[in-house]
Structure 1
Amino acid sequence: MLLLHNEDAGTSDAESIATGEKIIGAPVTRVAVSAGTGLDPILAEHTDEDVIVAGGDGSLHALLRALYRRDELGRRRVGLLPLGTGNDFARGSGIPLDVTAAAGVVRDGATRATDLIVDDTGDVVVNAAHVGVGADAADSARPLKPHVGPAAFPIGAMIAGLVRPGKRLTVVIDGRTATHPRHRNLMVAVSNAPTIAGGSALLSPDASVHDGRMHVTISQATGPIARIGYALRLLRGRHVDSLDVIHGPADRVLVAGESFRVNADGELSAPTVSRSWRVLPGAWRLFVPADRATGRQPAAEAAGEAGPGTEAEVRR
């Protein structure tokens, strides 16, 4: 097995990784990577080995992006030792947040086919991608993370929500236009798992990383009072019942309009005026607790990629 970890990991993380390695038991090759390290040479050197990521959503994002571009999603099993700030994907997939318990999941060897969202640039979404206040919140939270940890996410969202006016965008969901540029959108998000912001917000209460769909959320709560109400309801997933929110499952989503940035699993894109996403059902295999190891075989092994989507069951 190949174990990838952050070369800047602190002492406590390094100790957790060492403990996890002992629990896994199988021969493990540890490789330290940095934010600017390309994974292609590492993966090429360790052909066909299962890969364990010691990190958070961003680290898992980097690995799956590399595996997707290398067409290796169906050939390698992937494990996660959650050492990130938010660990939302681990929460949504049932992986224990305790590294010792998560290592036991890898050791036990049960896997499940897991969905992946991909965009038109060749990038991926493991947990969630945001346009509008979600991307602005990530930008505001970034300098706070070393000081306040997971609390940086809600603080960043509060700052962004108060000062950003919203974006004029067209959003097309499975071929159907859901919003027009005449309306400002506070946030547009596509998600694979339920939570964001370190579990502090329940963006898609009914989302599952194994259901073969992504979930889209559009908030048009752009007035001052409406923004506060949206933020409060988002904490418990009650925003989906609001009249100014569009929410539901989808196969394909297109966002276009005035310039925006995308926050995909905490990674901010360059400004763009268009981005589209589609879901690949069961595209990769994730080590999961034994009681969760049921479901489809990876679509990547059967067909290479997801087929054309159907009209989303989107409610307003």
Structure 2
Amino acid sequence: MSAADPTGAQLLVVIDPVARRVDGESTRIARDVLCAGAVAKICLPSGAEEVARAVARRGRRRTVVIGDDRALLRVVGLLHRRRELADTPLAWVPVGSLPAVTVARELGVPLGAVAAARAVLEGVERRLGLLADDSDGVVLHGLHVPSGASHRAAAVPAGGGAPWWSPAARTARTALTLLSGPSDRHPLPGCARLRVEADGVLLADLDRPVGRVAVSAVDGLAHVAIHPRTGTHPLRTHARTVTVSGPDFRYRADNRVRGPVRTRTWTAVPEAWRLTLPG
């Protein structure tokens, strides 16, 4: 066992090319901290195919992603499609500025390179839920339909660090923020003709346009909020599966616009993936 690796931890560190380009200094610092604290194999992929090959050959190493939300989603999506996600321990050092690391902030991953790298080495593995869709895609944080009605990311408090809560409290706060929607001072733009079903129960239909539909994975369920175009309170519920259909629509999931599609079903999967977070 190496002196630099007192616990026997072995890491596969996948450094996203975008991270190397946009913030080489933070990327270097994170790599150096990880290499000083564990036996680390460094992977510098140039594209998605090289990421897939590296992850497929990870062996018993814990996979660490250095990069923004998209970099992590690429690895999580790959493992999900390979049906290996639930059995693969992951860790993450976010590199980038908001909104490119919004998912990291919402999950409670430190946004500073040193703090995040130390959390990789000293943190606690937690099993997290997600939303899996019928096209073999995943949503880690939440989604909005239509895509133009996404909520704005809250500003990071002065001092550079995101606020810290216990995992349970942070999850509840995330759900509340995602599902509460814009205030009356920020009315929803336009409207959408959507049919929304939760566990087979019809919540909205095409003849009654809505302002927005928001879905997030919390405590093993899909939390749903349907915001009307007017200022009345949204309809809220939770379910195992949620289906949205209607004329071609786009939706924003994990801060990325996807679609257009005419129908999409999301299923809440509890404890679907393993991520190391601060203890």
- Provide TM-score, normalisation by structure 2: 0.74
**Aligned mate of 2:88, from 47, 59, 76:** 76
**Aligned mate of 1:286, from 244, 257, 275:** 275
State percent identity of aligned pairs: 30
Name the Cα RMSD after superposition: 2.8
Q: Report the counterpart of residue 307 of structure 1 in structure 2.
A: none
The number of equivalent residue pairs is 233
**Aligned mate of 2:124, from 105, 110, 119:** 110
Secondary structure at the aligned position of 2:120 is classed as helix
Q: Does 1:93 align with 2:107?
A: yes
**Aligned mate of 1:270, from 259, 263, 268:** 259
Larger strand percent: 2
Aligned runs of 1:2-81 on 2, under 5 Å? 2-9=12-19, 13-24=23-34, 25-33=37-45, 37=49, 39-81=51-93
The CA deviation string for residues 48-88 of structure 1, in whole angstroms up to 9 with x for no partner, is 43111222322222111111111111222111112243333
**Aligned mate of 2:141, from 123, 127, 133:** 127
Equivalent residues of 2:221, 2:240 under 8 A apart: yes
> d(CA) in 2 for partners of 1:268 and 1:33?
25
**After the TM superposition, which of the residue ranges 114-123 and 24-33 deviates more from structure 2?**
24-33
**After the TM superposition, which of the residue ranges 92-101 and 58-67 deviates more from structure 2?**
92-101
The CA deviation string for residues 259-282 of structure 1, in whole angstroms up to 9 with x for no partner, is 101222233323111000011101
> d(CA) in 2 for partners of 1:23 and 1:113?
25
Q: Does 1:219 align with 2:227?
A: yes
**Aligned mate of 2:240, from 239, 251, 258:** 251
The amino acid that maps onto 1:16 is S
> d(CA) in 2 for partners of 1:17 and 1:282?
29
The amino acid that maps onto 2:249 is F
Q: Report the counterpart of residue 172 of structure 1 in structure 2.
A: 197
The CA deviation string for residues 76-131 of structure 1, in whole angstroms up to 9 with x for no partner, is 21111122433333333322222211111110142011112100000000111222
The amino acid that maps onto 1:126 is L
**After the TM superposition, which of the residue ranges 83-92 and 257-266 deviates more from structure 2?**
83-92
The CA deviation string for residues 182-204 of structure 1, in whole angstroms up to 9 with x for no partner, is 11122212123xxxxxxxxxxxx
**After the TM superposition, which of the residue ranges 17-26 and 165-174 deviates more from structure 2?**
17-26
Distance 1:162 1:30, change over 3 A: farther
Equivalent residues of 2:19, 2:95 under 8 A apart: no
The CA deviation string for residues 158-207 of structure 1, in whole angstroms up to 9 with x for no partner, is xxx88953211110012211111111122212123xxxxxxxxxxxxxxx
Distance 1:34 1:213, change over 3 A: farther
Q: Report the counterpart of residue 301 of structure 1 in structure 2.
A: none
> d(CA) in 2 for partners of 1:61 and 1:282?
16
The amino acid that maps onto 1:212 is G
The CA deviation string for residues 120-144 of structure 1, in whole angstroms up to 9 with x for no partner, is 0000001112221xx1367xxxxxx
Structure 2 alignment gaps of length 5 or more: 1-10, 151-181
Secondary structure at the aligned position of 1:95 is classed as coil
Residue 212 (structure 1) shift: 1.5
> d(CA) in 2 for partners of 1:173 and 1:40?
34
Q: Report the counterpart of residue 146 of structure 1 in structure 2.
A: none
Structure 1 alignment gaps of length 5 or more: 139-156, 193-207, 227-241, 291-316
The amino acid that maps onto 1:248 is T
> d(CA) in 2 for partners of 1:252 and 1:163?
25
